[in-house]
Amino acid sequence: MKVEVLFPEVCNLYGDLMNVDYLEKSGAESVNTSLKERPKFIDGGIDLVFMGAMTEKSQEIVLKALAPYRDDIERAVNAGQAFLATGNAFEIFGKEIQNEDGTAIPCLGIFDTVAKRRMFNRYNAIYLGKFDGFYVVGFKSQFSHSYGGDNYGGIFRNERGDGRYPGFEEEGIRVNNFFGTYLLGPLLPLNPPFTKYLMKLCGVENPHLAFEEKAMEVYEKRVKEFKDPTVRVKY
Amino acid sequence: MGKARFYFALWMAKLSKPALKITGHQGTNFPGEVALKICPDFLAQIAKPKMIVGITGTNGKTTCTNMIIDILEASGKRVLSNREGANINSGIATALVNGTTAFNKAMYDTAVFEIDERSSKRILPYVQPDYMLITNLFRDSIQRNAHAEYIAQFISDNMPKKTKLILNADDLISAGVAPKNNRVYFGIEEMESDVKDCINKINDIQICPVCSGELVYDYRRYHHIGRAHCKDCGFHSPNYDYAASEVDFYNMTMLVSDKGGDMEYPIINDSIFNIYNMVSVIAVMRELGMEHSQIKKHMSNMKIIESRFSEKTEGDLTVILQMAKEKNPLANSRALDYISSIKGQKEIILMPNCLTDGDNWPENPTWIYESDYEFLNKEDITCVIVTGPYASDYELRLLLAGVSPEKIICEYDEFTSANIVPLIPGEIVCIISGMDHFPVAEKARDRIFERAREMGR
């Protein structure tokens, strides 16, 4: 399994890159692509493209870097290229990001989602969802939510916590094998079943995760904690 | 009406102090809270000292605030400060209530305020410091602070035009705050221990802040701290107005140079982040017009306050207590780096859990995946005990950092760690604790010494 990490020099907030570290420790190979380089997945040979959370200014820098490849990216998504975009990274692939002052940043427009920022209202929450018969646990800490795009499914079905936007019953966006989620940080080490699903999707027949037993213990403990109705969802 | 409301707020705040005392209640910020509740623009209306120094930043602001106050007081000045209270608006309001007569006349000429960077919007437009030291800006609590760029913008948006900034030239995030304000820079010249490439998980300035081009580090201390230039547009880190050089850890001295000359200073703690704290304080004092010789005299007797770092030896056992703010990956990485670099075999106890989170909601563990637990993957670290309700999360993180499973002990009860730490003769015990857990850490240290005495050591 070969993972391409897009723009690790800026898409690196909140420990998101530890997802790639975890895949590497579980047998994957990774390659970094910097802002000045042509994304490698366009020319094939990449099983998973990963992009982590970034600052608001970095979103604009990344948009500039990806704009020349917009049509290639759309073709890759339609052809089933696997992507995992965490935190605010998937907003880049939507229609636009709207600021509170009425201005908007045009994005790649591959999906028709619109992200709305509220810079003085950080949204912090835990999340418990279901995916392919198992639970997914995660954390959200963000200034924006993505609206619209209701014709696309999310990735995870909400059990506790908000989805892609408050009121939407699914978290993230899934189009073919494009997985975009507001869950950030160590999503994969904290969710061994989802990690295995992703690795299988990327062609690993019988994935063995690094420190799988301990990771499962941590995961099961957290699932139990998040299922507890006395545990608060929003911070 | 505005004035009447203000005076009512001032008097109620003043009256609340003896009321708290009589009823035996704590509440160091209560007077300020009362004042702000009654009169929301209280901070704008209350009389202020003629000269105000503000200190903000992610790390080091409490240490620097204490040092600045100590130096000013040692030189004979009466200083109003919030050192006994909070660094948010109610803490500043409480300090100002204490420093003002009932008829709103300032009783002090000088004030030194530690200011929470996230509270700058509620403080800076009204308190308007003459000088503002920004120690550094790093990632902090994900929920509260988001990321360093956000905080830098937040401070910039609220910085009064009149404030002269004293900035860290080796930190390209804080160095860029409020670019139109008058400013001076401090920093540390190249050191033997410097590197070019970043070995830390957090490296926030990897591209040129002006053109997004390729940034090359001439030297780097840790994370993004160092001196850099852009290969594409020629941008470079600001030059130092106050430069430390010839840092000598053997003799514990350094040279600080500015346009007024050079002075050799003693180093009061051998961690680089505390040397930055010292240089920043020297820069502030020089800006306030103090001679090098005077600053040196007052600094020579200083210690870093014990609540942040302490080392205690009884018999042949040394126990080190190192505080690292929970949820702050940078502070933890610095603590892990420092503790792991201490010479000799070490047994480590980690108490980083956020008690205040645990009471209300599950702890968000993202910060431990940004912290450099890889520093604990060392031969001379013989044991790491992870504690607290999320101990297994820390265990997984240590495994991913390459720490051998045989070295890791998972103990959910923090205090029990003191009963199971091996205490092998010749090994130092290091407890790295969050602020919430510091009282438990101190009790654990006492218990460790008690065990050592029981063992006849």
Strands B317-323 and B428-433: what pairing?
parallel
Q: What is the average per-residue pLDDT within A13-38?
A: 97
Chain B residue with the nearest C-alpha to that of A65: B212
Distance CA A221, CA B365 (A): 13
**B366–A210 CB contact, under 8 Å:** no
Ordered by start, the domain boundaries in chain A are 2-227
CA distances from A17 to A22, A59, B70 (A): 9, 17, 43
CATH architecture of A2-227: 3-Layer(aba) Sandwich (3.40)
Closest Cβ–Cβ partner in A55, A214, A221 for B149: A55
Judge whether residue A215 has pLDDT over 90: yes
Last-in-domain residue among B299, B319, B343: B299
- Six token digits for residue B422: 């091996």
**Is the confidence metric ipTM above 0.95 for this complex?**
yes
Cα atoms found within 13 Å of the Cα of residue B208, Cβ hemisphere only: 16
Split into its structural domains, chain B has a count of 3
Residue B135 burial (CB < 10 Å; 0-12/13-18/19+)? buried
Residues B210 and B283 in one domain: no
Cα atoms found within 13 Å of the Cα of residue B21, Cβ hemisphere only: 5
pLDDT at B357: 62
Which residues, other chains included, contact B106 with Cβ-Cβ below 8 Å and sequence gap of 6+? B47, B48, B49, B50, B99, B100
Chain A residue with the nearest C-alpha to that of B327: A14
Judge whether residue A170 has pLDDT over 90: yes
Distance CA B268, CA A46 (A): 52
Contact B287, B55 (CB under 8 A): no
pLDDT at B1: 54
pLDDT at B85: 84
Instruction: Give CA angle at B131 (B127, B136), nearest 5°.
Output: 100
Q: Higher pLDDT residue, B363 or A156?
A: A156
CA distances from B106 to A2, B28, B76, B110, B323 (A): 67, 20, 18, 10, 36
Percent of chain A with pLDDT over 70: 100
Closest by alpha carbon to B365, among B340, B386, B380? B386
Q: Is B308 left (phi over 0), alpha (psi -120 to 50) or beta?
A: alpha
Q: Which residues of A touch B146 (CB under 8 A)?
A: 122, 141, 143
Residues B283 and B203 in one domain: no
Residues B317 and B438 in one domain: yes
Chain A residue with the nearest C-alpha to that of B198: A9
CB pairs under 8 A between A and B: 99
pLDDT at B28: 77
Contact B6, B47 (CB under 8 A): no
Residues B205 and B61 in one domain: no
B259 occurs within a structural domain = yes
Residue B219 burial (CB < 10 Å; 0-12/13-18/19+)? middle
**B144–A122 CB contact, under 8 Å:** yes
Residues B41 and B78 in one domain: yes
Residues B185 and B213 in one domain: no
pLDDT band, very low/low/confident/very high, at A152 (cuts 50, 70, 90): confident
Chain B residue with the nearest C-alpha to that of A233: B361
Q: Quick one: CA torsion of B21, B23, B27, B33, rounded to 10 degrees?
A: -100
What is the three-class DSSP state of A197? helix
Closest Cβ–Cβ partner in B369, B396, B399 for A185: B369
CA distance B149 to chain A (A): 7
Mutate to test the interface with B, among A26, A61, A139 (most CBs of B within 10 A): A139
**B206–A9 CB contact, under 8 Å:** yes
Q: What is the pLDDT of residues A52-72, one digit of tens each?
A: 999 999 999 999 999 999 999
B304 occurs within a structural domain = no
Residues B179 and B225 in one domain: no
User: Over the range B244-268, which residues count as b (16 or more CB within 10 Å of their CB) and which as e?
Assistant: beebeeeeeebebbbeeeebebebb
B441 occurs within a structural domain = yes
Distance CA B381, CA B187 (A): 32
> Does B399 touch chain A if contact means CB atoms closer than 8 Å?
yes
B228 pairs with which residues across the strands? B217
Q: What is the average per-residue pLDDT within A137-159?
A: 94
Residues B169 and B278 in one domain: yes
Closest Cβ–Cβ partner in A141, A218, A232 for B142: A141
Which residues, other chains included, contact A83 with Cβ-Cβ below 8 Å and sequence gap of 6+? A48, A49, A50, A51, A77, A177, A178, A179, A180
Residues B90 and B166 in one domain: yes
Distance CA B228, CA B241 (A): 17
Instruction: Give CA angle at B352 (B349, B357), nearest 5°.
Output: 150
Segments of chain B with pLDDT less than 50: none
Residues B251 and B227 in one domain: no
What is the three-class DSSP state of A38? coil
Contact B87, B105 (CB under 8 A): no
**A35–B212 CB contact, under 8 Å:** yes
Q: What angle, 0 to 180 degrees and rounded to 10, lies between the N-to-C axes of helices B292-299 and B61-74?
A: 110
Residue B331 burial (CB < 10 Å; 0-12/13-18/19+)? buried
Q: Is the pTM of this model over 0.80?
A: yes
Q: In which domain, by residue range, is B200 found?
A: 191-232
Residues B207 and B170 in one domain: no
Average pLDDT over chain A reads 96
pLDDT at A234: 85
Most distant pair of Cα atoms in chain A: their distance? 50
Residues B126 and B219 in one domain: no
Q: What is the pLDDT of residues A183-201, one digit of tens each?
A: 999 999 999 999 999 999 9
Distance CA B98, CA B106 (A): 9
CA distance A10 to chain B (A): 7
pLDDT at B443: 95
CATH number at residue B146: 3.40.1190.10
Lookup result for tokens 């042509």: A38
Distance CA A178, CA A224 (A): 29
